[in-house]
Amino acid sequence: MPQSAGITRRWATLAGLSLAGTAACATSPTEASPVQGVRFRMVETNGIRLRVAEMGTENKSAPLVVLAHGWPESWYSWRHQIPAIAAAGYRVIAPDMRGYGGSDRPAAVEDYDITHTSGDIVGLLDAYGAEKAVLIGHDWGAIVTWNTVLLHPDRFSAMIAMSVPNGGRAAAAPLTAMRAAAGETFQYIVYHNEPGGVAEKEYDSNPRGLLAGLYTSKDTPVDPPALTDPKRSAGGWIPRLGKPKALPSWLTQADLNYFVSQFEHAGFRGGVNYYRNFDRNWQITPQLAGAHIKVPVAFIAGVDDVVIRGAKEDALRTTMSRVADDLRAVKLVPGAGHWVQQEKPQEVNAFVLDFLKGLKT
């Protein structure tokens, strides 16, 4: 069953938020990168350590591009973009965001709010000696990107958001409305916010099952889900996804093994904690009401990405123009879903490089 209802509900909710088996051995933070030419560095930033994948010239005068991944991902989600951007003459860094992979995993939920995650990015600029950088984010990384550029406008020369648009600050904190809308029906963000850490306990018990179930495309053949009762009381998320009969064409077994190993090492709690800060993020950023981004902005997503809910380019441009004063490009990639930079790397790389080239003119 392509793009199961569970997956659709998971991604579709993000669109309205502007603030909204046996696995491989766990990879240690110091293990060599699986991508040729990519180096790892542990960087002190904002009171924690982030493992950063880096590539490109070490000339500090070269422009810095920062890549921020989403959930449930890792720096490895950018494996196709890092070499391409570096080859164009940029310094490229892709951190494991806090809570992921080889980076530190603070215990407190509030340590994953937008103040902390945006502070991590700014701290990376300081660590790499960059007054400004171009920030590119996907999924939760896009939410962090939009808000980091809004909160620290003097530190960024441009930004690209992938998959998650921004139409401005929400009128109210979002979780109450989500809970009311879900009622007794399973909804993954509400599930992530249940007490007792039930979500990460489920995911930690079967990381391969979760990742394989989510890393699919529209045409991925999937077995019927083991759990079809829509009520939350019937169970968690993994049995609702359905087991893929094959990997999508853009994901190799080695790729999946690496992703799984990262979550075996770090667990899922850090990533789930981002979701536990939706209301807090809204509460601590009243200054973003009516705020605008002045630097150049671009947006790219797959045509089949359910986060955008079938929106066309013109509608997305209208929405994001409420926040971005210099929205230079909006592109929807045919044949791609939510994992656009992995599904269609050539198209995404061409879009990114064209945008970066335009910043020089």
Q: Over the stretch 92-104, which tens digit does the pLDDT of each residue have?
A: 999 999 999 999 9
CA distance 213 to 237: 10
Domain spans of the chain, in order of start: 14-171+278-359, 173-275
pLDDT digits (tens, 9 = 90+) for 246-258: 999 999 999 999 9
Average pLDDT rounded to a whole number, residues 4-10: 42
Write down the mean pLDDT value for the chain: 92
Whether residue 113 is predicted with pLDDT greater than 80 in this model: the reply is yes
Which residues have a catalytic role annotated? 139, 338
> So what's the pLDDT on residue 61?
86
pLDDT computed for residue 360 by the predictor: 80
pLDDT in tens, 142-192: 999 999 999 999 999 999 999 999 999 999 999 999 999 999 999 999 999
pLDDT at 10: 43
* Interval 265-273 mean pLDDT: 98
Q: What is the rounded CA–CA span in Å between residue 21 and residue 205? A: 10
Sheet holding 48-55, edge to edge: 39-45, 48-55, 91-95, 64-68, 133-138, 156-162, 293-302, 324-333
- Specify which residues 298 forms β-bridges with: 160, 329
Q: Which residues, 6 or more positions from 294, have their beta carbon under 8 angstroms from its beta carbon?
A: 153, 325, 326
Given a cut of 90, whether residue 58 has pLDDT beyond it is no
Model pLDDT, residue 59: 84
Assign domain 14-171+278-359 to a CATH class. Answer: alpha beta
At 30 the pLDDT is 55
Q: What is the predicted pLDDT for the residue at 57?
A: 83
pLDDT-derived band at 361, boundaries 50, 70, 90: low
* pLDDT above 70: percentage of residues in the chain: 91
358 φ, ψ (degrees, to nearest 5): -65, -20
